[in-house]
Amino acid sequence: MGTESESVGNIGSGESATTPDEITDGAAVTVHQDGVQLERTIGLIGGLAIGIGTMIGAGIFVFPGLVAERVGAAGAISFAIGAVVALLVALPASELATAMPRSGGGYYFISRSLGTGPGAIVGLGLWLGLVFATAFYLVGLGHYATGVLAELGVELSISPVIPLGLIFGALLTVLSVTGTENTAALQNYIVGVLLIILAVFLSYGGLDAVGIVGEPTTPERYVWGLQPLISTAALVFTSYLGFAQVATVAGEIKDPGRNLPLAMVGSVIIVGLLYVFTILVGTSTVGSAALEEAGETAMVEVGRELFGLAGAVAILFAGLLATISSANASILSCSRAIYATSRDRLLPLRASEVNRRYGTPHIALAMSGGPILLLVATGEVELLAEVASFLHLIMYGLICVSLIALRRREPDWYNPAFRMPGSPALPAVGALASFGLIFFMNPVSIGVGFVVMTICYIWYRYYASDVELKNKL
């Protein structure tokens, strides 16, 4: 232990919160003062794939049934509300990311503009928020894997949803530590395949609904009213958590001034449209009562209605891909969040350690995978989704506040390549919308979210009260 912890203590001498380091950003490389170069390797497609790949699993393959249960076809409006809030945050996040294209995303912006305290809440909260989000995706994955078993005619005495979620979670964590094959290209293909399957379903289903193919059908049930629509928007907001994950790899994005805003805003617009259409087509095709009954795998019934068994199988397959892709992307973002906070000494530097054999951040990945498995075991889809949204919404609100603060101060180092229009009004609306959405959540979720946040703050006071991050670039 002795020598090992010593060497871990030394490696930080190059980059830390206390030794500022001149950095030059090129389109394809970041050059540090000492000449060391960090290659930027993720292009626009890769950035979009991270954003879309993280988000798409939840909104299309888990939520439609839950949304139909609450508000019927009006769920499309809830998804649209979520998209607007996400866009209001994606714009300031894009501006901040182009000014600070570093690993850590939202945590980095907030700690540098608002200081260590808010930074710690957001940074540690982002870690835990992603833990909740990943657990949610894994439970969704468990539902789809169960659907596959059911389709194969496998009868089990107990529900295999949670065991399957746990198995996949453990598998993904182990693979993320030991897998050194480049899977980024694979992620791009998965997202591409998903988009194609969805495009086919939505266009055919859309034509079916308006009567060009078969009999016209109408969404038969709407629930109107601001309260149910917004509280549903608060629930499904988990389907929009991916765009900010693009910023956690901001340090690796090529030509960040152009690609970061395009990837963040673009992925929100693409998934937002898909979600809205999915709900409209789903409720028109089988009706919200049938969606509600099918629960987390409601889309399978839509596929079955449109294309028979082949449709059901295609959607099951797509659902598996989508939830795996969301869970995998979130585990990786989670480890980036841990790295970003430990680099700043909000967590022990040890957490950033890279495994000698695999070259992967094994401790950070274990700190992601471990708690994720604990949460999967609860199997509480809605609670997991809402707590994940809560922790992200706090960050989103503070991202908007950071933008307003930086625009007022305009420090020397603040030179974003992209400047959002409508400041300070739009970011102010974004902050209010983000914080406001929290109050429409289930009280239990709000309670759990507050407890997590408070623990983060206490940890900061206890462990890192002497760390100063404001303006430390």
CA distances from 323 to 60, 100, 147 (A): 10, 30, 13
For other proteins, which is the closer residue by CB, 208 or 252? 252
For other proteins, which is the closer residue by CB, 188 or 288? 188
- Least gap, CB of 341 to other proteins (angstroms): 12
For other proteins, which is the closer residue by CB, 185 or 207? 185
DSSP code per residue over 297-358 = GHHHHHHHHHHHHHHHHHHHHHHHHHHHHHHHHHHHHHHHHHHHHHHTTSS-GGGGPPPTTT
For other proteins, which is the closer residue by CB, 30 or 389? 30
- Burial group, residue 8, by CB count within 10 angstroms (0-12, 13-18, 19+): middle
- Least gap, CB of 250 to other proteins (angstroms): 10
For other proteins, which is the closer residue by CB, 155 or 181? 181
Residues of this chain that bind other proteins (CB under 8 A): 10-15, 28-30, 32, 34-39, 41, 102-103, 176-177, 179-184, 249, 251-252, 332, 335-336, 339, 343, 352-354, 358-361, 365
- Least gap, CB of 89 to other proteins (angstroms): 23
Helical pair 298-343 and 362-376, crossing angle rounded to 10 deg: 140
- Least gap, CB of 202 to other proteins (angstroms): 31
For other proteins, which is the closer residue by CB, 3 or 182? 182
Preceding peptide of 424 cis, ω within 30°: yes
- Least gap, CB of 9 to other proteins (angstroms): 12
- Least gap, CB of 179 to other proteins (angstroms): 7
CA distance 422 to 454: 33
CA distance 192 to 289: 31
- Least gap, CB of 124 to other proteins (angstroms): 18
Q: Phi and psi dihedrals of 38, rounded to 5?
A: -115, 115
- Least gap, CB of 53 to other proteins (angstroms): 13
With residue 4 as reference, give the H or E element that holds it: helix 2-11
Residues 6+ apart with CB under 8 A from 150: none
For other proteins, which is the closer residue by CB, 76 or 365? 365
Nearest to 254 by CA among 472, 41, 419, 64: 41
For other proteins, which is the closer residue by CB, 14 or 225? 14
CA distance 414 to 452: 31
Nearest to 137 by CA among 383, 384, 339, 311: 384
For other proteins, which is the closer residue by CB, 334 or 400? 334
- Burial group, residue 26, by CB count within 10 angstroms (0-12, 13-18, 19+): exposed
- Least gap, CB of 353 to other proteins (angstroms): 7
Helical pair 44-61 and 63-71, crossing angle rounded to 10 deg: 50
For other proteins, which is the closer residue by CB, 354 or 458? 354
- Least gap, CB of 34 to other proteins (angstroms): 7
CA distance 251 to 231: 35
Considering only the C-alpha atoms of the chain, give the largest distance between any 2 of them, rounded to a whole number of Å.
74
DSSP code per residue over 13-32 = TSS-SSS---EEE-SSEEEE
